[in-house]
């Protein structure tokens, strides 16, 4: 990330700007770098660019912007005009004659012709761009997350570029940044020839065009409506009705979304039939595991509704969970796919069920013996439960999309790290949530860290007494020993492991999609 507030000096000589831009393009193509890239790497590339041309070091920050642009160039160029946002700063207006008004989003141009803003907006809107005249990138990132746009071309000054780099990078927002020719809060200017060149750049490439995670999420949610589920549930007996009711119940549908993202990222030809079935298969398995988990944990509520075993009894709930597992396998077996793909899918799903059951069994055993918790045991359980649920979702979609063995291997490792990071974050949230003051089993990782601290300090008597302590005593010990801060450090470590693994993916669509998912969750 950008460590200091540094001045961006744009070369006043058009020839120098052009030379730097062309050499940046050659450098990034030569290195074959896929986005996103962290700031330290961009700074390194910019230094090499300056050295190649023998340019003045004062242009280093300008070179950083150029390298960032070239890394994103193919993605932005592959994005249709109607899926792009043009973001202009308000400081381009002529303050002495501007008749524009302001709303909550930014400046509403009055078309007074007192500056170039009106002309630029008209050109952009004629192409199909969404346009916005506002400071900063918060709104732009929000529009990407909402699914309104997929890429941004923005004009800005160095301070705004500095502030926006981290959130834009973490959210993996495809962006081309054009710096103002000089900093200032009013009556500034930009190289309009360069801007129009970038605005008109279009190079369709299905492998580079980003997926809209938000739009796909809406599509996935639509699969789980009463109307669409009728196609797959037609017997109408009591067990099937309860199974369908469980599928209709809330949740973010993250797992089926991951399956759809992986499938669409790898497949050369999308089959809506297969996509919908894969999403439903994963959700069948997920809902079955939730029903059984609720019984084992004796939970009263799920999605703010009474759990199935509370409303219909444990035997009925177990049976519905089993039915959903069978339904998932039935749907998988009925897919119109090659035998080799079906065999690999069944292997992955069966392996997932075994790992989930093993992890749940270990979790139940440890829950009965609080003082025996170790950090390694908890991390393994996290990978076998949460990590496995993410893994089977991604792998099932990727297998049906035709992903290579190396890509499947990277997704496997990513899922393990993601499962750990997600559960550590969940444990911290549960610990900090005042609504769960009496639920110690909701933050086992913190408990394991506390056990480890006792062992390090040789406090065997505290370790032995931990299982007998009241929840408030345990919570106070966690605070006193700063265990929650220690857990935050673990969370940061595993989030970084996730990003490291994503950087190894060769499929740009899925890489950017998972970066976006990570950015929203963590």
Residue 5 to residue 1: CA distance in whole angstroms: 11
Residue 469 pLDDT: 72
Domain 220-333: CATH superfamily is: Farnesyl Diphosphate Synthase (1.10.600.10)
Peptide bond before residue 31 is cis, with ω within 30 degrees of 0: no
* Residue from 517, 511, 509 nearest 270 by CA: 509
Identify whether the C-beta of residue 371 lies closer than 8 Å to the C-beta of residue 444: no
Q: How many CA atoms lie within 13 A of 285 on its CB side?
A: 31
Three-state DSSP state, 203 = coil
By the 8 A CB rule, do 189 and 180 touch?
Answer: yes
pLDDT tens, 204-218?
Answer: 999 899 998 888 999
So where are the chain's domains?
14-200, 220-333, 337-522
Say if residue 358 is exposed, middle or buried (CB neighbours under 10 Å; 0-12, 13-18, 19+): middle
Task: Report the share of the chain in percent with pLDDT over 90.
Answer: 64
For residue 176, what pLDDT band results from cuts at 50, 70 and 90? very high
**Mean pLDDT value of segment 443-467:** 75
Q: What is the pLDDT of residues 341-382, one digit of tens each?
A: 999 999 999 999 999 999 999 888 876 665 567 899 999 999
The answer to whether residues 89 and 35 touch, using CB atoms and an 8 Å cutoff, is no
Sheet strands side by side (includes 84-88): 130-133, 84-88, 151-156, 175-179
pLDDT of residue 409: 98
> Which residues fall within 8 angstroms of residue 42, CB to CB, at 6 or more apart?
64, 67, 68, 71
Mean per-residue pLDDT, 302-318: 94
Residues 257 and 390: beta-carbon distance below 8 Å: no
Average model confidence (pLDDT) across the chain: 88
18-24 contacts at long range (C-beta below 8 A, 24 or more positions apart): 19/53, 20/49, 20/53, 20/55, 20/59, 20/62, 20/63, 20/66, 21/66, 21/194, 23/49, 23/52, 23/53, 24/49, 24/63, 24/66, 24/67, 24/69, 24/70
Residue 2 is predicted with a pLDDT of 46
Model pTM?
A: 0.89
Q: Which helix (DSSP H) or strand (DSSP E) does residue 306 occupy? A: strand 305-306
Report the share of the chain in percent with pLDDT over 70. 88
pLDDT band at 1 (very low <50, low <70, confident <90, very high): very low
Angle at 80 between CA 106 and CA 1, to 5 degrees: 60
Q: How far apart, in whole angstroms, are the C-alpha atoms of residue 446 and residue 422?
A: 14
What digits encode the pLDDT tens for the residues 379-435? 999 999 999 999 999 999 999 999 999 999 999 999 999 999 999 999 999 888 766
> According to the model, what pLDDT value does residue 111 have?
63
pLDDT, position 520: 84
Half-sphere exposure of 40 (CA within 13 A, CB side): 0
Dihedral, 363, 368, 371, 374 alpha carbons, nearest 10:
-10
Which superfamily is assigned to 337-522 in CATH? Farnesyl Diphosphate Synthase (1.10.600.10)
Reading the block at residue 99, the tokens are 């008749």
pLDDT tens track for 311-335? 999 999 999 999 999 999 999 999 9
Look at residue 460 in the predicted model and tell me its pLDDT: 56
d(CA 74, CA 56): 28
Cα distance between residue 248 and residue 305, in whole Å: 12
- Examine the pLDDT at 107 and tell me if it is beyond 80: no
Cα Dmax for the chain: 79
Distance CA 11, CA 18 (A): 10
Residues 6+ apart with CB under 8 A from 247: 224, 229, 280, 283, 284, 287, 324
């Amino acid at each position: 990330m950008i460590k200091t507030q540094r001045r961006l000096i744009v070369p006043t000589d058009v020839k120098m700007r052009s030379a730097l831009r062309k050499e940046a393009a050659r450098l990034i193509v030569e290195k074959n770098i896929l986005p996103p890239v962290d700031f330290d790497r961009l700074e390194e590339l910019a230094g090499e660019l300056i050295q190649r041309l023998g340019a003045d070091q004062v242009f280093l920050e300008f070179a950083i912007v150029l390298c960032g642009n070239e890394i994103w160039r193919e993605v932005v160029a592959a994005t249709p005009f109607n899926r792009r946002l043009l973001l202009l700063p308000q400081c381009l207006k002529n303050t002495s004659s501007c008749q524009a008004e302001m709303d909550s989003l930014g400046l509403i141009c009055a078309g007074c012709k007192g500056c170039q803003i009106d002309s630029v907006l008209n050109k952009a809107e004629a192409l199909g761009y969404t346009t916005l005249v506002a400071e900063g990138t918060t709104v732009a990132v929000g529009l990407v997350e909402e699914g309104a746009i997929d890429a941004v071309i923005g004009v800005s000054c160095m301070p705004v570029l500095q502030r926006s780099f981290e959130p834009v990078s973490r959210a993996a927002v495809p962006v081309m940044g054009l710096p103002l020719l000089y900093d200032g809060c009013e009556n500034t200017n930009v190289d309009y020839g360069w801007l129009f060149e970038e605005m008109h750049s279009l190079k369709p490439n299905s492998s580079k065009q980003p997926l809209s995670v938000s739009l796909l999420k809406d599509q996935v949610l639509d699969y789980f409506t009463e109307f669409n589920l009728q196609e797959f549930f037609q017997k109408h007996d009591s067990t099937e009705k309860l199974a369908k009711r469980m599928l209709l119940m809330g949740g973010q549908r993250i797992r089926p979304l991951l399956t759809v993202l992986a499938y669409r990222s790898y497949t050369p030809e999308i089959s809506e039939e297969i996509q919908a079935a894969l999403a439903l298969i994963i959700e069948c398995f997920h809902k079955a595991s939730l029903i059984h988990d609720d019984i084992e944990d004796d939970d009263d509520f799920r999605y703010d509704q009474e759990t199935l075993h509370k409303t219909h009894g444990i035997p009925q709930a177990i049976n519905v969970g089993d039915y959903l597992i069978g339904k998932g396998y039935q749907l998988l077996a009925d897919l119109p796919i090659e035998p080799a793909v079906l065999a690999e899918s069944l292997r992955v799903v069966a392996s997932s069920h075994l790992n989930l059951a093993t992890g749940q069994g270990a979790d139940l055993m440890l829950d009965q013996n609080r003082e025996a918790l170790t950090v390694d045991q908890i991390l393994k359980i996290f990978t076998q439960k949460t990590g496995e649920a993410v893994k089977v979702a991604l792998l099932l979609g990727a297998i049906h999309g035709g992903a290579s063995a190396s890509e499947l291997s990277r997704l496997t490792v990513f899922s393990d790290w993601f499962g750990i990071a997600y559960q550590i974050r969940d444990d911290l949230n549960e610990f900090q949530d005042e609504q769960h003051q009496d639920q110690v089993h909701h933050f086992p990782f913190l408990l394991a860290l506390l056990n480890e601290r006792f062992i390090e300090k040789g406090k065997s008597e505290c370790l032995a007494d931990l299982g007998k302590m009241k929840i408030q005593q345990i919570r106070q010990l966690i605070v006193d020993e700063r265990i929650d801060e220690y857990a935050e450090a673990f969370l940061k470590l595993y989030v970084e492991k996730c990003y490291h693994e994503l950087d190894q993916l060769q499929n740009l669509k899925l890489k950017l999609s998972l970066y976006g998912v990570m950015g929203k969750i963590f």
